[in-house]
Structures are given as structure tokens and as C-alpha cells.
């Protein structure tokens, strides 16, 4: 039935003010208004249509992405959108594109690592999109090990230039988004060589393509690296390969905030830490954490709405069958994911604050909180992306067979999301960084350097004092256990930031109570999942474990009547969700049925290839037919 809200009875059950929760989710009344307006603008504009993506060939998909990016830019200019509104527009257009890396990495890298003069020269061009940038760090042979990069930048004092060169096949830049076909410029990372001495990896602004006809500049071999996981999905992005053959760039195109090369060929290090070369990664990891709650909430919204629509078994006296959301097993898989979506939202908000704080301090030459900010961004990036990728796949399974259809939106969401576990730091590699930070802290316990901020709790964990002498030995040997410790530390951060959120004033009828229920689910689900660890370390007794389990079941019952309203609070349009199973009105079956007929395979009743392959088979002519 068109126009009928099939989920109205669910919405009527809710016990809290959904509009107030929408503001909590958005972060502020202003953020809600902007997000709501821009999402509706995108949804109502046929220029941003995306329901045909999975049927396009790679070339068609890529060209369509270029069209959309240009159309989005025109919309931003025509409507005089602010930076905040423009970012929201790109978000709701919901298509991986070169613009993500231009705005998300190229510009932040120049801001973080460029001098004032360099920023003044390059940022206006980038902001107006008169140049398009990518972030060319990873090579064919090295991604995680940034110090192992082989591209060289050799200073030539005769011409006051750097010579950028790829000496080996494995030094080819490999993966950068936007590089393959679009970017005109790159921040390329290379091993700096001055006066014959290697000075570590540095960033350089390198022009790749002509601004007149887009052809690669002399000395550049550049192209796309090929199809990636999933049809459609991340294939809208032109991840690229690039080789430099003694490419010359002016000296002032080395990003020189952290260290400088003078025209006489002197290498000078500022008093800022070398790690600032990694600053763009700090920024992007923070945005990836914020983004995790969006991707997870999207999958959870689809699975929750569909679970309320779908009925299987349990009909009494010819009455309706049971909604699958009423099964305790469905609840125990779905509601912890719902709680995680909210938990990641709040920890993402906090991380944004932490990043702003560390940036302000860095500008004032206070570097004291940089190691903590690195550990938090790296650890939370790892934890939230792993949980989100796993969560999207779980949501697909929660939708049964229909979850496997592209029209459910879940396969594409998974395919686009899952590389987040790898890019911007492979998740295990990042957890090892957190472990290193934790072990360094443990080794300093009892000294005058007291742990503060997110590691202040360590002084209260008595047995850590006993192991502090041994932590520098056997790091590699114990690394698998240390990674688990790093995850536990990050989970503690997530839970404590959720609790801190609840200590704030939260307006709206019943909103705080719902969030308390979700926070308890998040914490108790972790306790339940890792009860072996808690029991074996004597942190809880078997009685506590059983109580936690009982409490979880009771919390699931409290969520149940509010489940649909809790996902409505994400305020996603049907366009952004891109899912028949998750559509707002719950009118799933007619839409699924209709969508099937739109598949290109159904354009003819008898398929192409019938006369060549099916008929000979049926007529037993297969031995004589030429295949």
C-alpha cells in the first residue's frame, strides 16, 4: 500500500522525544538544521540519483562520479554554501570520489605541514578547486612502514630544485585515491637526500598533470591500479599508480613546517617534533572515527526497520506471525550494534574535541599531548572501523536472504566501508602503536612522570607496577596479547566517553533514559563477550557474570518498543540509506518486487545468449555447436 506508514504502530510505541534525540545525534540544534536541510536537498535532486550504481560498468561509474562531483561543486557555488554545508553535501551525495582525498587529506596536509607562505600560495587554489590534490604516500612495496618508502627527493643546489625519482618498481606510488585519473597535484612522500645524506621521509607538493589538457607532465607515468572489491562501490575512486623519472620541482615545494632545506643545501630541523610529518594521518583518523558511527548507524537502521517488518513463524490462531525483532536472538545481535552506533557517535565527538585541543597546543609549540592524541586517534580508528565493518556484515545476516540483494544497500555499504580497516593505517599496526604507548606509560609508573588524561587510570591498577620492569623486553613476542590490551584500553575510552556524555544535561522527554539503557548495553555486552578475561583476572565472579547476562536481557526488552524511534533519530533520508529494506515507511515487499523488474537482465524475457548456449543444450546439439 503506497503512502501508508507500515511502521506507524512501531513509532507510536516509543517512549521518548525523537526530535530531541535527533539533536543529540546531530551534536547541536544548529548541526541538526544544517544536516536536515542538506540531506533533503540532495535527496530531492535527480542529479544525485544513485540507485543505478551497481549496474554500471567501471567506466560508466567513474564518468558518472565525475559528473556528480562537478554537479555537487556547481550546487555549492550556486547556493553559496558554507564550508560546513558543502562538507555535508559531499557526505550525503554518498559516493567515494577524488574530492574525499582532496578535501580530507591534501588540504589538511598543506595546512599541517606547510609554512605560512606555502599555505598562502597553495590553499586558495585548492579551496577553489583550481588544482585537485591527492595524498601519495603508500608505495607498491611499503604502506605501513612509512620509513621504508623508497621514492627519493635529492636536493640539487645548482638549480635550487629537488629531483623526485622512483628508483625501483616497488617504489612506485600505489593506492593514492584520485591519483589514477583526476589529480593535478600530489603531496608525495619521499626520502629526502641533501648533500648525499638521507634525512628521512618528507612531503613534497608535485604537479602531476597539465592544467591545460590534463596530460601527465614529463617524467610521470601515471594510471589507475584496477578494479577493487565489490561491484560499483569503491570502484568510483581512481586509486592510482605513479612513477617518477627524475622529476624536478622547485625547492619551495617541500613542505617545510617541520624541517627546511636552505638554498645552500643545509638541512635544518625546527624545534617541532618530526612526528608532525604524520600529522595528516592524525587528522584523517579522527574523521574516520566520526564516520564509523554514520556507516554503522546506517546498517543498523536498515536491519532494525526490516526486522520490524519481517515476520516468520509463531502465528497464533491464524493471526500474524512474529516480527523477527521480537526474537531474543535477533535482539541480542542487533541491539548491541545499535548501542555501538551511539557509543561511536559520542566517542567521535570527544575525539574531535581532543584533536582541536592538540592542534591548538601544537600551534603554541606545546607538544606534550601529541603521543596521547596519536594513541587515541590510532586506537579508536582501529576499534571503530573493525567493529563497524563486522557490524555491517552482521546487519546483512540479520536481514536474511534479502540482505544479500544489492537493493538492500548492505552489500555496497560493506564493500565501500571495509577498506577503512586497512587505509589510514592497517588496524593491527595501529593497535601496536597504542600498545607501544601503553607500555611506555607502564615503564614510567612510579617515576616523577605521572600518567594523565586518558591513561590516568593506570596509577590505580596496582599490579601494573609489578610488571613495569619487564615491559621493554619481549614486546614482539607478546605482541598478540598486547594488541588485546590495546583494544581493552580503547574500549575503556568508548565506555567512559559514553558515561561522560550522560553526565551532561540532555533535554527532551525520556532521551537521557534511552541513552542510559544503550550505554549499559554497550558496557555489559563487552563484559559478557569477554567474561573469560574478566573471570580469569578475578575482576568479576561467576555470579557477577550471570547477573550481567540477566541485566542484558532486561535491557533488550527496554529497547524493543523504542527501537524504531532510536533509528529514526539518525534522521536519514531514503536516498541516503539507499535501501529498500530500510525504507522509512516499511513498505518493503512491493518495492523489492518492483526493483527486481528493473534489473537489466529483465529487459528481455528471453536472455541474450539463448540461441547460442541454451537452445543447443536443450536440443542436444551441444556436441556440434561451436561454443
Ligand X SMILES: Cc1cc2nc3c(=O)[nH]c(=O)nc-3n(C[C@H](O)[C@H](O)[C@H](O)COP(=O)(O)OP(=O)(O)OC[C@H]3O[C@@H](n4cnc5c(N)ncnc54)[C@H](O)[C@@H]3O)c2cc1C
Ligand Y SMILES: CCCCCCCCCC/C=C\C/C=C/C(=O)SCCNC(=O)CCNC(=O)[C@H](O)C(C)(C)COP(=O)(O)OP(=O)(O)OC[C@H]1O[C@@H](n2cnc3c(N)ncnc32)[C@H](O)[C@@H]1OP(=O)(O)O
Annotated binding site for FAD: 138, 177
**Does the footprint of ligand Y cover residue 286 (CB under 6 A)?**
no
For the CB of residue 426, give the shortest distance to ligand X in the complex, in Å: 4
Q: Which is nearer to ligand X, 21 or 432 (CB)?
A: 432
How are the residues of the chain apportioned to helix, strand and coil, as percentages rounded to the nearest 5? 60, 10, 30
Is 424 an annotated catalytic residue?
yes
**Does the footprint of ligand Y cover residue 133 (CB under 6 A)?**
no
Contact string (CB under 6 A) for ligand X, positions 594-623, x = contact: ------------------------------
**Does the footprint of ligand X cover residue 65 (CB under 6 A)?**
no
Judged by CB under 6 A, the residue of 175, 335, 437, 576 near ligand X is: 175
Q: Which is nearer to ligand Y, 95 or 568 (CB)?
A: 95
Q: Which is nearer to ligand X, 403 or 419 (CB)?
A: 419
Judged by CB under 6 A, the residue of 88, 104, 242, 559 near ligand Y is: 104
Work out the burial of residue 402: count CB atoms within 10 Å of its CB; fewer than 13 is exposed, 13-18 middle, 19 or more buried: middle
Say which DSSP state 605 is in.
S
And the C-alpha cell for 388?
563497524
Dist CA 420 CA 379 (whole Å)? 13
Dist CA 410 CA 416 (whole Å)? 10
Q: Which is nearer to ligand X, 137 or 408 (CB)?
A: 137
Pick what 87 binds: ligand X, ligand Y, none; C-beta below 5 to 8 Å, kind-dependent.
ligand Y
Residues 6+ apart with CB under 8 A from 218: 247
**Does the footprint of ligand Y cover residue 287 (CB under 6 A)?**
yes
Judged by CB under 6 A, the residue of 239, 382, 531, 562 near ligand X is: 239
Pick what 201 binds: ligand Y, ligand X, none; C-beta below 5 to 8 Å, kind-dependent.
none
Q: Are 517 and 23 in contact (CB under 8 A)?
A: no
Judged by CB under 6 A, the residue of 12, 144, 210, 312 near ligand Y is: 144
- Using CB under 6 A, which of the segments 151-159, 288-296, 415-423, 573-581 binds ligand X? 415-423
Judged by CB under 6 A, the residue of 45, 390, 426, 516 near ligand X is: 426
And the C-alpha cell for 382?
582501529
**Does the footprint of ligand X cover residue 419 (CB under 6 A)?**
yes
Q: Are 519 and 335 in contact (CB under 8 A)?
A: no
And the C-alpha cell for 473?
623486553
Of the chain, the end-to-end C-alpha distance in Å amounts to 48
For the CB of residue 147, give the shortest distance to ligand Y in the complex, in Å: 4
Distance, C-alpha 12 to centroid of its chain: 34
Judged by CB under 6 A, the residue of 199, 275, 359, 513 near ligand Y is: 275
For the CB of residue 132, give the shortest distance to ligand Y in the complex, in Å: 14
Judged by CB under 6 A, the residue of 14, 118, 138, 331 near ligand Y is: 138
For the CB of residue 178, give the shortest distance to ligand X in the complex, in Å: 7
Q: Which is nearer to ligand Y, 275 or 359 (CB)?
A: 275
**Does the footprint of ligand X cover residue 484 (CB under 6 A)?**
no
Q: In 121-154, which positions are buried (b, 16+ CB within 10 angstroms) versus exposed (e)?
A: ebeeebeebebbbbbbbbbbebbeebeebbbbbb
Work out the burial of residue 479: count CB atoms within 10 Å of its CB; fewer than 13 is exposed, 13-18 middle, 19 or more buried: middle
Q: Are 323 and 314 in contact (CB under 8 A)?
A: no
**Does the footprint of ligand X cover residue 206 (CB under 6 A)?**
no
**Does the footprint of ligand Y cover residue 100 (CB under 6 A)?**
yes
Residues 6+ apart with CB under 8 A from 478: none
Dist CA 150 CA 205 (whole Å)? 17
**Does the footprint of ligand Y cover residue 101 (CB under 6 A)?**
yes
**Does the footprint of ligand X cover residue 425 (CB under 6 A)?**
yes
Residues 6+ apart with CB under 8 A from 302: 395, 399, 408, 409, 410, 577, 579, 581, 582
Which residues in 366-425 contact ligand Y (CB under 6 A)?
370-371, 374, 423-425
Judged by CB under 6 A, the residue of 140, 149, 205, 282 near ligand Y is: 282
Contact string (CB under 6 A) for ligand Y, positions 57-96, x = contact: ------------------------------x---------
Say which DSSP state 220 is in.
E
Residues 6+ apart with CB under 8 A from 176: 101, 134, 135, 136, 137, 138, 183, 186, 239, 240, 242
- For residue 38, the surrounding DSSP H or E stretch is helix 29-43
Dist CA 626 CA 83 (whole Å)? 61
Residue whose C-alpha is closest to residue 121's, from 185, 72, 181, 73: 185
Residue whose C-alpha is closest to residue 165's, from 184, 197, 188: 188
For the CB of residue 98, give the shortest distance to ligand X in the complex, in Å: 10
Dist CA 498 CA 509 (whole Å)? 19
| 273: helix, strand or coil | coil
Q: Are 553 and 271 in contact (CB under 8 A)?
A: no
With contacts defined by CB under 6 A, how many residues of the chain interact with ligand Y? 29
**Does the footprint of ligand X cover residue 144 (CB under 6 A)?**
yes
Give me the catalytic one of 424, 462, 484, 505: 424
Dist CA 99 CA 69 (whole Å)? 7
For the CB of residue 132, give the shortest distance to ligand X in the complex, in Å: 13
**Does the footprint of ligand X cover residue 176 (CB under 6 A)?**
yes
For the CB of residue 423, give the shortest distance to ligand Y in the complex, in Å: 4
For the CB of residue 427, give the shortest distance to ligand Y in the complex, in Å: 10
Question: For residue 181, how many other CB atoms are within 10 A of its CB?
Answer: 17
φ, ψ dihedrals at 274, nearest 5°:
-60, -30
**Does the footprint of ligand Y cover residue 355 (CB under 6 A)?**
no
- Using CB under 6 A, which of the segments 286-294, 353-361, 424-432, 450-458 binds ligand X? 424-432
Judged by CB under 6 A, the residue of 78, 116, 147, 463 near ligand Y is: 147
For the CB of residue 384, give the shortest distance to ligand X in the complex, in Å: 17
Dist CA 319 CA 316 (whole Å)? 5
Question: Nearest to ligand Y by Cβ — which residue?
Answer: 104
**Does the footprint of ligand X cover residue 106 (CB under 6 A)?**
no
Q: Are 277 and 203 in contact (CB under 8 A)?
A: yes
**Does the footprint of ligand X cover residue 516 (CB under 6 A)?**
no
What pairs with residue 134 in β-bridges? 186
Which residues in 162-181 contact ligand Y (CB under 6 A)?
177
**Catalytic (active-site) positions:** 424
Q: Which residues bind ligand Y (CB under 6 A)?
A: 87, 100-101, 103-105, 135, 137-138, 143-144, 146-147, 177, 275, 278, 281-282, 284, 287, 370-371, 374, 423-425, 429, 433, 436
Q: Which residues bind ligand X (CB under 6 A)?
A: 101, 135-138, 143-144, 175-177, 234, 239, 419, 422-423, 425-426, 428-429, 432
Amino acid at each position: 500500500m503506497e503512502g501508508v506508514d507500515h511502521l506507524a504502530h512501531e513509532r507510536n510505541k516509543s517512549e521518548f522525544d525523537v526530535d530531541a534525540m535527533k539533536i543529540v545525534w546531530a551534536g547541536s540544534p544548529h548541526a541538526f538544521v544544517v544536516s536536515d536541510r542538506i540531506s533533503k536537498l540532495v535527496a530531492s535532486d535527480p542529479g544525485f540519483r544513485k540507485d543505478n550504481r551497481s549496474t554500471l560498468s567501471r567506466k560508466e561509474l567513474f564518468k558518472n562520479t565525475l559528473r556528480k562531483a562537478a554537479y555537487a561543486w556547481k550546487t555549492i557555488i550556486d547556493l553559496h554554501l558554507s564550508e560546513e554545508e558543502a562538507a555535508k553535501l559531499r557526505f550525503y551525495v554518498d559516493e567515494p570520489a577524488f574530492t574525499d582525498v582532496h578535501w580530507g587529506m591534501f588540504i589538511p596536509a598543506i595546512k599541517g605541514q606547510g609554512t605560512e607562505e606555502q599555505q598562502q600560495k597553495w590553499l586558495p587554489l585548492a579551496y577553489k578547486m583550481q588544482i585537485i590534490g591527492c595524498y601519495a604516500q603508500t608505495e607498491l612495496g611499503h604502506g605501513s612502514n612509512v620509513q621504508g618508502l623508497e621514492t627519493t627527493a635529492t636536493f640539487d643546489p645548482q638549480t635550487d630544485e629537488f629531483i623526485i625519482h622512483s628508483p625501483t618498481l616497488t617504489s612506485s606510488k600505489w593506492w593514492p585515491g584520485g591519483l589514477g585519473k583526476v589529480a593535478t597535484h600530489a603531496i608525495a612522500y619521499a626520502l629526502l637526500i641533501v648533500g648525499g645524506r638521507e634525512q628521512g621521509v618528507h612531503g613534497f607538493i608535485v604537479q602531476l598533470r597539465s592544467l591545460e589538457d590534463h596530460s601527465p607532465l614529463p617524467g610521470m607515468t601515471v594510471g589507475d591500479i584496477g578494479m577493487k572489491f565489490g561491484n560499483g562501490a569503491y570502484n568510483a575512486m581512481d586509486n592510482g599508480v605513479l612513477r617518477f623519472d627524475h622529476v624536478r620541482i622547485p625547492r619551495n615545494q617541500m613542505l617545510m613546517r617541520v624541517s627546511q632545506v636552505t638554498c645552500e643545501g643545509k638541512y635544518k630541523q625546527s624545534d617541532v617534533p618530526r612526528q608532525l610529518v604524520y600529522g595528516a594521518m592524525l587528522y584523517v583518523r579522527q574523521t574516520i572515527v566520526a564516520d564509523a558511527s554514520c556507516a554503522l548507524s546506517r546498517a543498523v537502521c536498515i536491519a532494525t526497520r526490516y526486522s520490524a517488518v519481517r515476520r516468520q513463524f509463531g502465528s497464533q490462531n491464524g493471526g500474524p506471525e512474529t516480527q523477527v525483532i521480537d526474537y531474543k536472538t535477533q535482539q541480542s545481535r542487533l541491539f548491541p550494534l545499535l548501542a555501538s552506533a551511539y557509543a561511536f557517535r559520542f566517542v567521535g565527538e570527544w575525539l574531535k574535541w581532543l584533536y582541536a585541543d592538540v592542534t591548538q597546543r601544537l600551534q603554541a609549540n606545546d607538544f606534550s599531548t601529541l603521543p596521547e592524541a596519536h594513541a587515541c586517534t590510532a586506537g579508536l580508528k582501529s576499534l571503530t572501523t573493525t567493529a563497524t565493518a563486522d557490524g555491517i556484515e552482521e546487519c546483512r545476516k540479520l536481514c536474511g536472504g534479502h540482505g544479500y540483494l544489492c537493493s538492500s544497500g548492505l552489500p555496497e555499504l560493506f564493500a565501500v566501508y571495509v577498506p577503512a580497516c586497512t587505509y589510514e593505517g592497517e588496524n593491527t599496526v595501529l593497535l601496536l602503536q597504542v600498545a607501544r604507548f601503553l607500555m611506555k606509560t607502564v615503564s614510567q609508573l612510579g617515576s616523577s612522570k605521572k600518567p594523565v588524561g586518558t591513561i590516568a587510570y593506570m596509577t590505580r591498577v596496582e599490579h601494573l607496577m609489578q610488571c613495569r620492569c619487564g615491559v621493554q623486553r619481549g614486546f614482539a613476542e607478546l605482541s598478540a596479547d598486547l594488541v588485546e590490551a590495546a583494544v581493552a584500553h580503547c574500549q575503556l575510552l568508548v565506555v567512559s566517553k559514553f558515561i561522560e556524555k550522560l553526565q551532561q544535561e540532555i533535554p527532551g522527554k525520556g532521551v537521557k533514559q534511552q541513552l542510559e539503557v544503550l550505554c549499559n548495553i554497550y558496557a555489559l555486552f563487552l563484559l559478557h563477550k569477554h567474561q573469560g578475561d574478566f573471570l580469569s583476572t578475578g575482576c568479576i565472579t561467576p555470579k557477577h557474570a550471570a547477573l550481567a547476562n540477566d541485566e542484558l536481557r532486561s535491557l533488550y526488552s527496554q529497547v524493543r518498543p523504542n527501537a524504531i524511534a532510536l533509528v529514526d533519530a539518525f534522521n536519514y533520508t531514503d536516498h541516503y540509506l539507499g535501501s529498500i529494506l530500510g525504507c522509512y515507511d516499511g513498505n518493503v515487499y512491493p518495492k523489492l518486487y518492483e526493483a527486481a523488474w528493473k534489473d537489466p537482465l529483465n529487459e528481455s524475457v528471453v536472455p541474450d545468449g539463448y540461441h547460442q548456449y541454451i537452445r543447443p543444450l536443450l536440443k542436444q546439439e551441444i556436441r556440434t555447436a561451436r561454443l
